Amino acid sequence: MWLNQLWFVLYVVIIGGYVILDGFDLGVGMLSPFVARSDHDRRVLLNSIGPVWDGNEVWLVLGGGALFAAFPFVYASLFSGFYLALMAVLLVLIMRAVAIEFRSKRPGARWRTTWDWFFTISSTGIAFLLGVALGNVLRGVPIDDQGNLNVDFLSLLSPYALMLGVAGVLMLALHGGIFLTMKVQDELLERVERLVPRLMVAFFVAMTVVVAWTLFLPEDFAQNFRDRPWTAVFPAAAFGAVLVAWRAIRAGAYGRAFAASASMIALLMASVAAALYPVMLPASNDPANSLTIYNAASTQETLTVMLVVAVIGMPFVFLYTAGVYYFFRGRVQLDDDSY
Amino acid sequence: MRDVLLDRIQFGLTASFHFIFPPLSLGIGLMLVIFGVQSLRTKDPKWRQLSMFWVRIYGLIFAMGVATGIVMEFEFGTNWSVYSRYVGNVFGSLLAAEGIFAFMLEGGFLGLMLFGGARLGNRLWLFATSMVVVGAHFSAVWIIMANSWMQTPQGYEITQGPNGPMAVMTNFWEVAFTPSFIPRLLHVLVASWMLGAAMVASVSAWYLLKQRHVDVAKTMLRVALPIFCVLSVLQVAVFGAQQATVVAEQQPVKLASMEGLWETRECAPLYLFGWVDTDSETTSGVSIPCMLSVLVGFTPDTQVQGLNEFPADERPNINLVFQVYHAMIDLGMLFVGVSALVAFTAWRRRLYTSTLVLRVLVVNVVLVFAAIIAGWWTAEFGRQPWIVWDQLRTVDAASPNLSTTTVAISLIGFVIVYSVLLVVFFWLLNQKIQAGPPDPQDSEEVESLPDSFGEIFARRPRASSRVG
ipTM for the predicted complex: 0.86
Given a contact cutoff of 8 angstroms between Cβ atoms, the answer to whether A175 and A19 are in contact is no
Which residues, at least 6 apart from A36, have a Cβ–Cβ distance to it below 8 Å?
Answer: A42, A45, A188
Is the pLDDT reported for residue B156 higher than 80?
yes
Start-end of H helices in B120-277: 122-151, 172-176, 181-210, 214-234, 241-250, 252-259
Cβ contact (<8 Å) for A75 and B417? Answer: no
Could you tell me which of A20, A22, A33, A24 has the C-alpha nearest to residue A121?
A33
**What CA–CA distance (Å, rounded) separates B51 from A151?**
51
Q: Do B112 and A51 touch (CB under 8 A)?
A: yes
Q: Examine the pLDDT at B468 and tell me if it is beyond 50.
A: no
Q: What residues form DSSP beta bridges with A291? A: A281
Check CB contact under 8 Å for A84 and B409. Answer: yes
Distance CA B394, CA B376 (A): 17
Closest alpha carbon within chain B to A331 = B464
Cα distance between residue B28 and residue A18, in whole Å: 29
Q: What is the pLDDT of residue A337?
A: 66
Looking at residue A223, its pLDDT comes to 82
Number of Cβ atoms within 10 Å of the Cβ of A18: 20
pLDDT digits (tens, 9 = 90+) for B30-86: 999 999 999 889 988 889 899 989 999 998 898 888 888 889 989 999 999 999 999
CA–CA distance, B221 with B202 (Å, rounded to integer): 9
Query: Residue B397: what are its φ and ψ, rounded to 5°?
Result: -100, -10
- Please list the alpha-helical segments (H only) found in B236-353: 241-250, 252-259, 291-297, 318-347
Residue A338 domain flag: no
C-beta separation of B129 from B116 below 8 A: yes
Residue pair A269/A16 in contact (Cβ under 8 Å)? The answer is yes
Give residues with Cβ within 8 angstroms of B148, minimum separation 6.
B178, B180, B181, B184, B185
- Contact list in B for residue A111 (CB cut-off 8 A) is none
Alpha helices (H) in chain A, listed in sequence order: 2-35, 39-49, 53-70, 72-81, 83-102, 109-139, 159-181, 186-215, 221-227, 233-251, 254-276, 300-327
d(CA B75, CA B11): 7
Mean pLDDT, range B268-272, rounded to an integer = 89
Question: B212: phi > 0 → left, psi -120 to 50 → alpha, else beta; which?
Answer: beta
> Which residues on chain B are in Cβ contact (under 8 Å) with A99?
none
Torsion of CA B40, B43, B49, B50, to 10 degrees: -50
Is the backbone peptide bond immediately before B385 cis, with ω within 30 degrees of 0? yes
Given 3-state DSSP classes, what are the helix, strand and coil percentages for chain B, each rounded to the nearest 5?
A: 70, 5, 20
**B461 contacts in chain A (CB < 8 Å):** 327-330
| pLDDT at res. B401 | 86
Which tens digit of pLDDT belongs to each residue from B80-139? 999 999 998 899 889 888 888 888 888 888 888 888 888 888 888 999 999 999 999 999
Q: How far is B233 from chain A (nearest CA, A)?
A: 37
Q: Which of A68, A94, A313 sits opposite B88 (nearest CB)?
A: A68
Pairing mode, strands A291-292 and A279-281? antiparallel
**Inter-chain residue contact A79 with B78, CB threshold 8 Å:** yes
pLDDT over threshold 60, residue B459: no
**How many angstroms separate the CA atoms of A131 and A166, rounded?**
7
Does residue A44 sit within a domain? yes
Q: Is B66–A66 a contact, with Cβ atoms under 8 angstroms apart?
A: no
Task: Name the average pLDDT for chain B.
Answer: 89
CA A51 to CA B109: how far, in whole Å?
9
Residue type, A88: A
- Per residue in A141-200, pLDDT tens? 888 888 888 887 888 889 999 999 999 999 999 999 999 999 888 888 889 999 999 999
Say what the alpha-carbon torsion angle B149, B132, B16, A118 is, to the nearest 10 degrees: 130
Distance from CA of A159 to the nearest CA of B (A): 24
pLDDT score at B178: 92
Q: Which residues of A touch B466 (CB under 8 A)?
A: 333
**Where does A36-105 have alpha helices with state H?**
39-49, 53-70, 72-81, 83-102
Collect all residues with Cβ–Cβ distance below 8 Å to A37 and sequence separation of at least 6. Answer: A187, A188, A191
Domain spans, chain B: 1-180+417-468, 194-250+252-382
How far B31 CA sits from the closest chain A CA (Å)? 20
Longest CA span, chain A: 60
How far apart, in whole angstroms, are the C-alpha atoms of residue B107 and residue B111? 8
Is B165 in the A-facing interface, judged by CB distances under 8 Å?
no
pLDDT of B465 > 50? The answer is no
- Interchain proximity A94–B68, CB inside 8 Å: yes
Q: What is chain B's Cα-based Rg? A: 24
Domain hosting A296: range is: 2-327
Residue A29 lies in a domain: yes
The count of C-alpha atoms lying within 13 angstroms of the C-alpha of A44, restricted to the half-sphere facing its C-beta, is 25
Nearest to A54 among B62, B77, B421 (CB): B62
Which residues numbered 240-259 in B keep a CB inside 8 Å of some CB on A?
A: none
Residue of A nearest to B86 (CA): A72
Distance CA B258, CA B328 (A): 11
Q: What is the DSSP-derived secondary structure letter of residue B281?
A: T
Over its length of 339 residues, how does chain A's per-residue pLDDT go in tens digits? 889 999 999 999 999 999 999 999 999 999 999 998 888 888 889 888 888 888 888 888 888 889 999 999 999 999 999 998 889 999 999 889 888 888 877 788 888 888 999 999 999 999 999 999 999 998 888 888 888 888 878 888 899 999 999 999 999 999 999 999 998 888 888 899 999 999 999 999 999 999 999 888 887 788 888 888 888 899 899 999 999 999 998 888 888 999 999 999 999 999 999 988 889 998 888 888 889 999 888 888 889 988 998 888 888 888 888 888 888 877 887 776 677
| Subunit contact B66:A60, Cβ cutoff 8 A | no
Among A80, A326, A335, whose Cβ lies nearest the Cβ of B78? Answer: A80
Provide, as residue numbers in chain A, all residues whose Cβ is less than 8 Å from the Cβ of B111.
50-52, 54-55, 324, 328
pLDDT of residue B467: 37
- Cα separation, B187 vs B231, whole angstroms: 10
B362-390: buried (b, 16+ CB within 10 Å) or exposed (e) per residue?
Answer: bebbebbbebbbbbbbbbbbbbbebbbbe
Contacts of B41 (CB under 8 A, 6+ apart): none
Residues B339 and B368: their CA atoms lie apart, in Å, by 13
Say if CB B71 and CB B18 are below 8 A apart.
yes
DSSP-assigned letters across all residues of A261-289: HHHHHHHHHHHHHHHHTTEEE-BSS-GGG
Contact A185 B467 (CB under 8 A): yes
On whether the CB atoms of residues A103 and A126 are closer than 8 A, the answer is no
Would you give the DSSP letter of residue B369?
A: H
Residues of A in contact with B124 (CB under 8 A): none
Q: How many domains does chain A have?
A: 1
**Set of chain B residues whose Cβ sits within 8 Å of the Cβ of A69:** 88-89, 92-93, 95-97
Write out chain B residues lying below 8 Å of A87, CB-based: 78, 409-410, 413
pLDDT at A99: 87
A165 CB-contact burial (10 Å; exposed 0-12 / middle 13-18 / buried 19+) = buried
> Which residues in chain B (379-438) have CB-CB distances under 8 A to chain A?
399-402, 406, 409-410, 413, 417, 421, 424, 428, 431, 438
Backbone region of residue B267 per phi and psi (left: phi > 0; alpha: psi in -120 to 50; beta: other values): left
- CB distance A57–B70 less than 8 Å? yes
Q: Give the pLDDT score at B464.
A: 45
Cα(B90)–Cα(A68) distance, rounded to whole angstroms?
Answer: 10
**B195, B126, B464: which is closest to B335 by C-alpha?**
B195
Asked if residue A335 belongs to a domain, the reply is no
Residues of A in contact with B60 (CB under 8 A): 101
- A320–B106 C-beta distance less than 8 A: no
* pLDDT 10s digits, B419-442: 988 998 898 899 889 988 888 888
Chosen for mutation from A48, A74, A327 (greatest number of chain B CBs closer than 10 Å) is A327
State mean pLDDT over B282-302: 88
Distances (CA, A) of A265 to A12, A245, A248: 11, 12, 16
How far from chain centre, in Å, is Cα B115?
26
Q: What is the pLDDT of residues B332-373, one digit of tens each?
A: 999 999 999 999 998 988 888 888 999 999 999 999 999 999
Residue of chain A whose alpha carbon sits nearest to that of B61: A101
Sign of the CA dihedral running A50, A51, A52, A57: positive
Cβ-based neighbours of B407, under 8 Å, separated by 6 or more = B6, B7, B10, B79
Q: Is residue A333 situated within a structural domain?
A: no
User: pLDDT band at B6, cuts 50/70/90?
Assistant: very high
Residues A140, A143, A147, A151: is their CA dihedral positive or negative?
A: negative
- From the list B149, B115, B116, B113, the residue with the least C-alpha distance to B134 is B113
Tell me, what's the pLDDT at B1? Answer: 58
The answer to whether residues B84 and A60 touch, using CB atoms and an 8 Å cutoff, is no
Measured CA to CA in angstroms, residue A216 lies from A165, A203, A280, A287 at distances of: 18, 20, 21, 19
* Confidence band for B277, pLDDT divided at 50, 70 and 90: confident
CA distances from B38 to A332, B45, B130, B135, B196 (A): 31, 10, 13, 21, 17
- Compute the Cα dihedral for B297, B298, B303, B305 and give only its sign: positive
